[in-house]
Structures are given as structure tokens and as C-alpha cells.
Amino acid sequence: MDIATPAQTEAPPPRDRFSALPPELISHIFGHLDHGTPVPALSRHLLPCARAVNFAHGFIWRARQLDSLVRMLKGIPALGAYVHILGLLTRPSDKADPDSFVDLLRLAPNVQILCITDTVASLAMLSERAVDSGGANLRDLDLSLGLDQVISPDFIPSRVALLSRYPLLRTLHLTVLGFLTDNAQGVSARDLQCPVDYTAPVAHVDSLRIFAPLSDHHVVEFVRAFRGLKEVELVDAYSSQHRAPVLAALDASEVRRLVLHESEHVFIRLDLPPLPTDWSRFAQLSELDIGVLIDYEKLVAAFPSFDTLSSVRFAPGSAPPATFVRQLLTAGLPRLRKVELSNLTGKVGAPIRRKDLPAVEAFVAARHAAYAAAFPQPPTAGPEFPLEDWTVPRWTVSFGPDDVRSLFSLARSVGVKMDGTVVDAYATHIVLQTQFHAREVYYKWEQKMLRHPAGLQVMAERQRARLLGEETSDEASESAEEGDDEEWEDTEDDEEVDGEWGEGEGQDASDEERRD
């Protein structure tokens, strides 16, 4: 009787080269497949790789799906090890069972990215049971809480301190929902003198993003719990200039990137007194993104502290005066390389035809009247542009098209790259200006552009290129300029154009019509 030796019982080598690859490499290859693509288990060697693809991402849209997933993982415990990205994305009216959610954390111990829109489950993450059940590999956490939960007595500092017990957590996003007008009061300077004593501050999180009413005292204390943050994004759910306390509570010693914005959909507007902000505390700042109204004089005073500042962005809502941008460019900041002006935008849309001129002129007159009535601040609402697909820039007294041209020239002279949507605003302004106040030197070229299918867009792109100091090779522009002059000057062809401005006049248009 022959007895098989250990060498004889070894598994035969795989017949194909793909199966001979290491499991980690096979899983990486399978990972490029679209989520939900069925991967057949061709062999026992490929079965773990197929499971890794099918169970790596888990998204729960209803509370009953959470219960079903927990039952499945209890029946096949090995499957939970494959889950790395998990999302509990239930509707506000469909609350998840916190006990089932804690069980899911225990059954899926390798989850690295967790997104929760359910407020009950989000609060369960900040509990002793959740910390003890799982989260050892959690790196990215996105929570949604109600303001009534945040202002509860046990939230600060007890529940917030539990974040320090997720050892690998590096990125935290917090969204505070359910705004309460009774808790809309601002934090005073006296409140900041008696901060909450965090015996266990959260010191291992690198990136923090908060969407919440920043003027609320509890939100300010939540920010105070973190130490050594490198990236901070603060989005105010209220419309208020009372944001200095939350910036003062922030540990700015290592902040490299700071984003300060206001929600696009503001539900509550607060009339709270603004407090001064000490911007010099952000000495390690490399990237600054402002999307709210701030005291720019205080920011100018902190320029000597910004030795590492390399990029500044002004988003919609920031309204920086041109004098401040000019001071920023001439301050001699050693590492400043980019300034983005996106406080204004513009877009060229449908062509302006002769029949549209009265409506456009009425728009311009109404706009001037609205600005004059609201001087020196721009009007909160104005007339709508009568043509489709146009976005007309809202220039202000402190920031106009002439300022844009001079700022871009100054930026080129000091070696700073400047861009942003204000380039589109300037191009739109020039297009409108040349439409109504065309000079003789531009008249022939402008008429060509207007008759070209993409004439207005070509004009806008040319203005963008001039402002940015770049060369353009737009095919439409070349075809418009290099085309046969007879095509442009043929009055019969001009008359067939549907009411375009200058139609049927060609080069014989009168001086009076050229000035229109």
C-alpha cells in the first residue's frame, strides 16, 4: 500500500498565469471593475478576490436593509472582513436601529471609510458600545447630527472625547441639521474665556470639515476639542458675520489649509456683531479659501506672518475690494504663487440681435438704477438679463472691470498666477461693451464675429486670453478671420440672417448705426 508523501499532496500549480498572481494583486485588478459587476468564482484561488470586489463597498438606503445585512453577516461571519467602505444613507424619516448599527460595526471590523446620514446612528458612533465593538481601522468618518443632539449636556465633552479612541481616524466630516432659532445666539468674547476642559483632546485627526451654525456656542466648543489639525473647512449654515469665536477656538498651530464658506442655501439670517479675528495665529497657512465677508484690514495686518502662504482663493460671497487684492500681490509674500478671483462670474449666452436691443437697453438702465439706489453696496436683487444662458457680472464700486485688468497685469509682473471666474466676468463685460459701444477699429472684425456661428463665444475667449496673457488658437476664431471677405460683406447673405445686429448693412452701415 502506497502512502502519499507531503510533496505528493501539494496542490498542483495553477494552469493560467493570472491565477498565479498574488491575491493582493488579483484583488487590485478586480477592484477596477464597476461596482456591482458580477465576478464569477473561477477557482478556489479566485474566490476570495471575487468576494473582496463584491463586498468591498456597502451602501444602505433603508433601515430594513441594515437589519438584513446584519443577519447575513451573522450567518456568514467571514464576509464582514471584506467590507472596507460603508454608507448608511437613509432618509430622515427612516431611522435606523442603533443596536443593529453597533452589531454591523462589530461584524465588519475592517471598515476604513464610513458615511452616515442617519442622526440616530451618527450619535451611536459616539458611544462606548460603538468604540468597543469596532472602528479599529476607521480612517474617514462622516457624521450627521441634529442641533438638538449637539446641544445636549452629554455631547460636550463626553461624546466628543470618544473620537480619540478611534486610533486611525484622520478625516472627520460633521453636518449639523435641524436649525433652532432659539439657539442662534452668538458667542461673546467672555464665553471664550471659560472654555471646556477637554481631558482627552482629539489629537490624531488631520482634516476636519464642519457644516453647522458656526455662531452656536456648542459648535465652537466642538471645534475646541481638536489639536494639531492640518486641514479645516468651516461652512456656516447661518448667514452671520459672527465667525471670529469659532476661528479663535481653532488650534491654528499646524493648520495648512483653511476654508471658510457660507452655505448656498441659508435658512436663518442673524444680525450679530462681528468680532475681530487674529489671523496672525495661522502662521503655517499654505492655502486660504474665503467665501464669506471678513474684515480684510485685519487680514492685511497678518501678512507679515504668512511666510508659507502659497495660494489664496476668493469664492462667491467673499467680495474682496480691489485695493486688498492689490495689497496681497504687492505684500512680498515669499511663497505666494496663485490667486484665484471667483467672487464674480460671467457667461456669454444667446446672441444679441437687433430685435433684442430694446430689452437689453432696458435691462442696463434698470441695473444702473438699482445700483444707484443701493450705493455703496450692490443690490441684493436686480433685473434678470432678457436673453437666455447669460450670466451678467455684478460689479461693485470697490471692484470693477478696470480693476480686473490692472490686477492681472500686476500679478504677471510679480510672478503670481491669477485666474478664476472673474475672467469670465471680464470677458462678458467686454462682449457687452463692444456690442453697444463698438469703435471703428473693431467694427469690421466684430461684424465677422457676430455672423460666425460661435462669434460671441470667440470674442469672450479672446478677452480671456488677453487678460491671462496667453495665446489662443481657437479654430472658430481662425475660420472667422481667415474666411473669404466676400462671405462677410455680401449684403444678400446678411439679409438672410435672422435679425442679427448689423444685418443687411455690411460695410456700408452708417456711423449712427455703428454707435448703437
Segment 40-84, tens digit of pLDDT: 555 666 666 666 666 778 889 998 999 988 998 898 888 888 888
The answer to whether 233 touches 209, Cβ cutoff 8 Å, is yes
Beta-bridge mates of residue 328: none
Q: What is the per-residue pLDDT for 33?
A: 60
Q: Rounded distance, CA 326 to CA 406, Å? A: 9
SS3 of 293, please?
Answer: coil
Helices (H), 353-394: 357-373
Q: What is the per-residue pLDDT for 371?
A: 64
| Mean pLDDT per 10-residue segment, the chain (516 residues) | 49 62 68 59 63 75 90 86 89 88 92 94 93 91 91 84 93 84 49 55 95 87 93 90 88 96 78 84 97 93 95 94 96 96 87 76 74 61 76 85 93 94 89 59 46 64 74 48 39 34 35 40
> Quick one: angle between helices 47-55 and 23-30, nearest 10?
40
Q: What is the per-residue pLDDT for 404?
A: 93
CATH architecture observed for domain 23-33+45-341: Alpha-Beta Horseshoe (3.80)
Question: Domain segments of the chain: what residues?
Answer: 23-33+45-341, 354-515
Q: What is the per-residue pLDDT for 151?
A: 83
DSSP-assigned states of every residue in 225-285: TB-S-SEEEEEESEE-S--HHHHHHS--SS--EEEEEE-SS--EE---------GGG-TT-
* Distance from the Cα of residue 193 to its chain's centroid: 34
Q: What is the per-residue pLDDT for 484?
A: 38
The answer to whether 463 touches 426, Cβ cutoff 8 Å, is yes
Q: What is the per-residue pLDDT for 514?
A: 37
Q: What is the per-residue pLDDT for 275?
A: 82
The DSSP 8-state label assigned to residue 185 in this structure reads P
